[in-house]
Structure 1
Amino acid sequence: MAKFDCDWCGKCCVSFGEFIKIERQLTERDYYCRYGITDEIFPVHVQPEFADEIEEEFTESGPNEAGSARKGCVFMRKNPDGKGFACAIYPTRPSICREFECYRMLIHHQPSGEMRGKVIGINELRTHDEILAAIWNDKIAHLPHPFNGHHAPAEHTHVPGTPSTHGHDSHILAHINDLAHGDDEEWVSSVSTVLAAHGYHADPVE
């Protein structure tokens, strides 16, 4: 199993993070927040290096408005230790953030071990390997998947010159509704078998 490795891109914080709003300040570093889609209320504790700027924004703009001028989550901040973005409440981030993973499977070329693609959403492939893209579209994209009965299909391949049908929202909604990927083991097994027959190795993320 591959280990999920965050690259600090901030894309998840920009997308569904915009639904996280501060409801009330408790102390200089503690707040009650609300997740707009599920209406969940949860407490957060701000990391010390971000406390002043978040408190200043909240004081100036008030409840539900803090960070509204920016795109994304109010707690998404420039990474002080390098490139990308950091989460100001990472240790106390809500369940929607803890459960989200940008990708759920890595695909490697078997002889070389080189990583050739990532699977995100329900069954969306991102790759620049045209052979892998063709295999995915012909042999895998139409395999039955348990989530397709609950959410819209997410067939999608990111490769130059191929059509795209975005499926990101299906994956996000699956996590919001507490659906795990544990019930798609048969699909993962089928994908792994097809890829192995064509010289690729599927490495599901833990």
Structure 2
Amino acid sequence: MGEPRQFSVHLALGGGAVADVLLWKKGYQSVTLLVVSTALWFIFETAGYNLLSFISNALFFLAVILFFWAKSAALLNRPLPPLPNLEVSEDVMLRAADETRLWVNEALSLAHDIGIRGNLRLAVQLAIGLWLISYIGSLFDFLTLAYIGVLLSLSMPVLYDNYQDLINEKMHAAYKLVQIQYRVIDEKVLSRISLPVSKEKKIQ
């Protein structure tokens, strides 16, 4: 018998250029993303540079460079700047709207389960999740969190891709421990608390 087939991290990440960058299959692009994100974080966090001023100055210098490039190309008979067709297609907007609709419906379904059906377990899980997000947000600002997200995106997928068996074993053990603790809390606390379920009025 052969070895069990491993989970394809590359396919889970979409199997395209983004997956290649996150899994370091295109080392130059991965290093570029790491260096650029580190430089931006250093500029804004350590040097105290303002984000709005940075974007404004960057766009200003880009516009100046493109203007002089186009003028010099006309005078020296050189090719124009290789700019792509800068427009958002209708298909992209429809896919973005459809994805947004799914997230909004999921949030509304969650609110319905908590507010109408009185799902206590779901309410407790949501409260704990929001508290964790609030606590982590109090430790770092948004830019630092984004930078940490980039670092995790460039490290966690490739680590999991290389050490799937060991990580799955540890995650399975941690999941079983969390299940045991959740059962204890469920039996001692949640099972003794009941939320009143609102009754819908009959329309005659």
Calculate the TM-score normalised by the size of structure 1. 0.24
Determine which structure has more spread, i.e. the larger CA radius of gyration: 2
Calculate the TM-score normalised by the size of structure 2. 0.25
Larger RCO of the pair (alpha carbons < 8 Å, separation 6+): 2
Which one has a larger percent helix, Structure 1 or Structure 2? 2
